[in-house]
């Protein structure tokens, strides 16, 4: 009888341990199912995700954060404690998949800002979910590109700003900035981003387009200042 009881206790422990292990291994899937159970993404979010050529996984990572396109007052409330992006991109991601917010830029001259913002923040959510080994791999690719092949002065200035404002998140920001604002990346990085976008070049083209608007405005201001000075 004692042996039967011991065997029963042993089997019970194994079942409990196995169930606990299974729940732990599936915790992310359970979490995602829970937050998506009664959620339908707004049509504007779906449209923007499609314009960004997000694949099903990227959309999944976007939707579990219940992304919102917000006007100034709401956006400031949502992102006031998160630290503003140091680029023209206006958005914020709350860690551990707890929210993603984008400022609703309406100026038609700046078409593409919202698309780039959404992709930028979605990449933060994706980076947050990478395993340690995955992060080590992609971090190596990002840093190698930054140290040896990145020559765009604006992007370099952006990364320099992040080093001052978010020194512990620089590589995380590289992951979002390079993926959404650099037209041509080394093959290894291009292949990496193909896991999330079918046409990453389209997103970077949006960024190039609205950056040109800001550049033209800056040059005009500088010209006017020179005329005034003379």
Pairing relation of β-strands 91-94 and 99-103? antiparallel
This prediction has a pTM of 0.82
N residues, the chain: 230
> Could you report the per-residue pLDDT of 179-209, keeping only the tens digit for each?
999 999 999 999 999 999 999 999 999 999 8
Question: What are the phi and psi torsion angles at 70 (to 5°)?
Answer: -125, 155
Q: Find out whether 143 and 165 touch, Cβ atoms under 8 Å.
A: no
Q: pLDDT tens digits for 91-128?
A: 999 999 999 999 999 988 888 999 999 999 999 999 99
């Amino acid at each position: 009888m004692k042996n039967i009881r011991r065997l029963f206790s042993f089997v019970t422990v194994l079942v409990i341990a196995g169930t606990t292990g299974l729940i732990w291994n599936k915790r992310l899937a359970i979490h995602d199912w829970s937050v998506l159970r009664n959620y339908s993404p707004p049509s504007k979010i779906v449209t923007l995700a499609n314009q960004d050529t997000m694949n099903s996984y990227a959309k999944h990572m976007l939707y579990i954060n219940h992304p919102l396109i917000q006007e100034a007052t709401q956006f400031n409330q949502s992102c006031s404690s998160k630290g503003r992006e140091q680029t023209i991109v206006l958005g914020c991601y709350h860690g551990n998949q707890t929210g993603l917010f984008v400022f609703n830029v309406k100026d038609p001259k700046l078409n593409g800002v919202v698309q780039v913002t959404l992709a930028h923040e979605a990449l933060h959510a994706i980076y947050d979910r990478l395993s340690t080994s995955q992060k080590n791999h992609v971090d190596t690719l990002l840093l190698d590109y930054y140290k040896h092949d990145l020559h765009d002065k604006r992007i370099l200035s952006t990364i320099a700003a992040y080093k001052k404002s978010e020194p512990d998140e620089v590589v995380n920001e590289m992951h979002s900035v390079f993926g959404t604002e650099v037209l041509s990346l080394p093959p290894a990085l291009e292949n990496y981003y193909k896991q999330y976008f079918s046409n990453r070049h389209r997103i970077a083209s949006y960024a190039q387009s609205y950056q040109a608007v800001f550049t033209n405005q800056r040059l005009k201001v500088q010209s006017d200042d020179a005329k005034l000075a003379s």
